[in-house]
């Protein structure tokens, strides 16, 4: 069976550096940080008191007060990002077969804030005070479900939960869904809003978060020798994927072509990456094999680049393993230096950054990369965006549990 060509026709972003694709992109090219003190709860007692919050988001700008109360914040983010993506793709659901339009949106954690709130109510006031919408607010599939309800998409509707690889897996799995004929159009990506006391406390207990509380905008510093952990963040990244034939038939804007996807497992540890990077390198190799491209064809790598000691070193090793001598020549950057780590949504906004890098021939920088770690000795585009013709780009995501995912997009050509 011949696999169908899949193109990107729309994107939507909610991030700590801006709501909307263009604001997000302008902030990245400026090297603007979205990290600041946590304001959504009292973090005074926590080791890490900083996060990438979406501070300019007001649910009443997008939902009625009743609807906003019923929808968890991570579901709202998915909905708003999907609206932008559908609009940018000029996708009129009344003009297409809704049975052939699917939704695949994941989340790493879901609504842990709802769990905290409702359990506190239970302890204080008993089970009869638990909110009727408690369960629909917490389950991860509600993001895809809500987007399906809003858009009228009646094709495959599902979700992915693979920690920090979630959005990349969601986009890649949606790509496969279209390639093999299960749908003509997929609304895909990831969403997250887990900057809560329990979640931040849990990551603090893992010693995973940066403690650079006095300099929040310098806290996320991937590949820098002085990095001390990642910074939690929230937001959503959603894209519209569809067959080339379908996109051309409806005269849709074609932003890029999705050509490669690889996913593997380390089978090693519940949080730490396998020490040689073998699982990550296999994911990249599989994506290249799927795309039909060679390592030297990749113009830009959007790294997972979390700003943790292990991840950045292991990802560097994995890139060297796959790209060999070309590894020192290909530009690499981590936008987590600016946005923080959106967990299950990270791959969604990073995919968007790859498409935008191709569109504008600009690579966003890795800010705060002032003193590169000797173990991280590649070209991480430090601190300043770079003008480069980007013909194709790879985006990597490496998640807790050993989940590895890589996708490759290239400029569309007939």
**C-alpha R_g of the chain:** 20
d(CA 310, CA 194) in angstroms, rounded, equals 23
Report the catalytic residues: 164, 304, 341
d(CA 261, CA 407) in angstroms, rounded, equals 4
Residues 6+ apart with CB under 8 A from 301: 319, 330, 331, 332, 333, 393, 394, 395, 396
Q: Tokens representing 365? A: 């920088």
Nearest to 186 by CA among 143, 236, 144: 144
CB atoms within 10 A of CB 95: 8
d(CA 8, CA 13) in angstroms, rounded, equals 14
Residues 6+ apart with CB under 8 A from 406: 168, 260, 261, 262, 263, 283, 284, 286, 287, 394, 395, 396, 397
Asked if 12 and 235 count as a contact pair (C-beta separation under 8 A), the reply is no
* 155-167 residues labelled b (16+ CB within 10 A) or e (exposed): bbbbbbbbbbbbb
Residues 6+ apart with CB under 8 A from 176: 261
Asked if 274 and 268 count as a contact pair (C-beta separation under 8 A), the reply is yes
Cα–Cα distances (Å) from 73 to 197, 212, 392, in that order, read 15, 27, 34
Q: Any idea what DSSP says for residue 196?
A: S
């Amino acid at each position: 069976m011949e696999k169908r060509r899949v193109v990107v026709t729309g994107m939507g972003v909610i991030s700590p550096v801006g709501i909307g694709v263009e604001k997000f992109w302008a902030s990245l090219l400026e090297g603007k940080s979205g990290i600041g003190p946590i304001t959504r709860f009292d973090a005074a007692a926590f080791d890490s008191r900083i996060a990438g919050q979406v501070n300019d988001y007001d649910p009443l700008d997008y939902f009625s007060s009743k609807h906003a109360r019923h929808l968890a914040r991570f579901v709202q983010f998915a909905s708003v990002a999907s609206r932008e993506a559908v609009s940018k793709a000029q996708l009129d659901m009344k003009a297409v077969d809704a049975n052939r339009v699917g939704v695949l949106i994941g989340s790493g954690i879901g609504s842990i804030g709802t769990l905290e709130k409702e359990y506190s109510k239970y302890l204080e006031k008993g089970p009869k005070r638990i909110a009727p919408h408690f369960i629909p607010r917490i389950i991860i599939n509600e993001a895809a479900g809500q987007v399906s309800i809003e858009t009228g998409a009646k094709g495959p509707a599902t979700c992915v939960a693979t920690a920090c690889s979630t959005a990349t897996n969601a986009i890649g799995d949606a790509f496969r869904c279209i390639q093999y004929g299960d749908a003509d159009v997929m609304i895909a990506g990831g969403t997250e809003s887990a900057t809560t006391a329990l979640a931040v406390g849990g990551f603090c207990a893992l010693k995973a978060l940066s403690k650079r509380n006095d300099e929040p905008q310098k806290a996320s510093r991937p590949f820098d020798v002085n990095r001390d952990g990642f910074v939690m963040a929230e937001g959503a990244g959603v894209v519209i994927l569809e067959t080339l034939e379908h996109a051309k038939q409806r005269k849709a804007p074609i932003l890029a072509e999705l050509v490669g996807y690889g996913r593997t497992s380390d089978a090693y540890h519940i949080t730490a990456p396998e020490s040689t990077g073998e699982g990550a390198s296999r994911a990249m190799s599989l994506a290249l094999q799927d795309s039909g491209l060679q390592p030297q064809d990749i113009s830009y790598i959007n790294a997972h680049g979390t700003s943790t000691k292990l991840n950045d070193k292991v990802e560097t090793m994995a890139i060297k393993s796959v790209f060999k001598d070309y590894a020192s020549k290909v530009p690499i950057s981590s936008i987590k230096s600016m946005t923080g780590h959106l967990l299950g949504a990270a791959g969604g906004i990073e995919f968007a950054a790859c498409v935008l890098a191709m569109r504008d021939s600009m690579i966003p920088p890795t800010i705060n990369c002032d003193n590169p770690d000797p173990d991280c000795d590649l070209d991480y585009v430090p601190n300043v965006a770079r003008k480069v013709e980007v013909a194709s780009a790879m985006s990597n995501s490496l998640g807790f549990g050993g989940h590895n995912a890589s996708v490759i997009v290239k400029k569309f050509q007939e």
